[in-house]
Structure 1
Amino acid sequence: MSAAEQAAESEDLMEFFNSAVDTLQTIVVGLGGALCVWGGINLLEGYGQDNPGSNAHVP
C-alpha cells in the first residue's frame, strides 16, 4: 500500500470518527437540556403545598 493510499484511508477514518463524535455530542447536549428542563419542572411542582390556605380541610 502506498503512502498516498494510507493517508487517504487514515483521512477517511478520521472523518468517520469526527462525524461520530459530533453526533454523540449533539445527543449528550440534547439529553442534558432535557434533564435540566425536567428538573426545573420537578422543582416548581414542589411549591404547590407551600400555601396552607389552599388546604380545604384545615379549619
Structure 2
Amino acid sequence: MGFFSSAVETLQTLVIALGAGLAVWGVINLLEGYGADNPAANAHVR
C-alpha cells in the first residue's frame, strides 16, 4: 500500500507541474496576442 500511496503522490506532483506549465504558457500566449492591438505594428504591410 505504501508503493501505491507514493505513486499517487508522484502523479499528483506531475499533474500540478503540468498544469502550472500550461498556465504559464497560456498567459504568455495571451500577452503576445495583445501585441496585435497596435496599429503601428502593421505599418510595414502597406
TM-score by length of 1: 0.68
Runs of 4 or more off by more than 2 Å in structure 1?
none
Q: Which has the higher helix share?
A: 2
Query: Which consecutive unaligned segments of at least 5 residues does structure 1 have?
Result: 1-13
Query: Which consecutive unaligned segments of at least 5 residues does structure 2 have?
Result: none
Greater Rg by CA: 1
Number of residue-to-residue matches in the alignment: 46
CA RMSD of aligned residues (A): 1.7
- Map of 2:31 onto structure 1: 44
TM-score by length of 2: 0.84
